[in-house]
Amino acid sequence: MQIQDIGLKDYKETWDYQDELFKGVIDLKIKNRRNTSNSPTPNYFLLVEHPHVYTLGKSGDLSNLLISEKKLAEIDATYYKINRGGDITYHGPGQIVGYPIIDLENFFTDIHKYLRFLEEMVIRTLNEYDLKAERSDGETGVWLDVGTPFARKICALGVRASRWVTMHGFALNVNTNLGYFDHMIPCGIKGKTVTSLNVELGKKEVAMDEVKEKLLKHFAVLFEAELIDKTVQKS
C-alpha cells in the first residue's frame, strides 16, 4: 500500500486527486474482468491537512451548517457538498485527515468491518496517549466518555465505496481550532461536543508526525498491509 503525506492541501484539489486514484483502481478492476486478467490493483493511503472547510455528505442536512456564505468568507472557510456518507464535517489545520483509497477485495469484502477497523486504528492510537477512546452505538467515529453527559467526539468518519473500492475516510482532531465546530452541528448530532488530542492532554501542541506514525502502525497491523512511503519530499 502506497502512503502519501501531501501536507496542507486545498480540499477540492485533494478531492479531485482522490477521485482520480479511485477511478483508476475501478477502471483497472473492470479491465481485469473484461480480459480475464489478474493484474493486482493498487492501494493508497493519503494523509493531509486542509485549510478551513466544511463538507456535507450526500444524505446530510444543510441546516446543520449554522452560518451564511458571507460568514464563511469572514472566517476564511469554504463549503462543499460531497459524495461520501455522513452529515456535516469540519476540516482544518491541526487535524489529521486520512483517505484510504483501497480495493477491499485485496483485504475483505465487508464495508462495516472496514469502518470498524478505521475506528479501531484511531482507538489504539489514542490508547497510546492513555486516553480511553471508544465507539458510540449508532454513531460512527471515535468518542471519549461514551455514555456520560461529557461524551465528546475526537474523530469523524465518512466513506464512499464502489466495486469494493473506497475513498474519503477519517478526520482526527490533534491540534485543531475547535472554535470552528461552533458554526455547525457536528455530524448532525445535537447536544454532543467535540474535542482534540492536545486539549485532552493539556498540551499546547502534539507532534503531528508522531500521531501519523502511530496511526499507520496500527493500520498496518489491522489490515495486515505492507506500507510503502511514496511521499514526495519537498526541497
Of 75-89, 91-105, 145-159, the poorest mean pLDDT is in 75-89
pLDDT in tens, 178-231: 999 988 876 555 567 899 999 999 999 999 999 999 999 999 999 999 999 988
Kindly state whether residue 28 falls inside one of the protein's structural domains: yes
- The answer to whether 152 and 172 have CB atoms below 8 angstroms apart is no
pTM: 0.92
Say yes or no to pLDDT of 234 above 60. Answer: no
Binned at pLDDT 50, 70 and 90, residue 88 comes out as: confident
**pLDDT reported for residue 235:** 39
CB 44 within 8 A of CB 100: yes
Residue-range definition of the domain harbouring residue 190: 2-229
Residue with grid cell 500521531, as numbered in its chain: 211
Concatenate the DSSP letters of all residues of 95-159 into one string: EEEEEEE-BGGGT-S-HHHHHHHHHHHHHHHHHTTT--EEEETTEEEEEESTTSTT-EEEEEEEE
The x, y and z cell numbers of residue 106, run together, are 485485496
Look at the chain and report how many structural domains it folds into. Answer: 1
Task: Tell me, yes or no, whether 234 lies in a domain.
Answer: no
Q: Which of these, 41, 19, 18, 45, lies nearest to 30 by C-alpha position? A: 41
User: Is the residue at 206 inside a domain?
Assistant: yes
The answer to whether residue 14 sits within a structural domain is: yes
| Residues designated catalytic | 187
Q: Is residue 235 part of a domain?
A: no
In a domain, 18, yes or no: yes
What are the tens digits of pLDDT across the range 119-134?
999 999 999 999 999 9
State the CATH number of the domain containing residue 213: 3.30.930.10
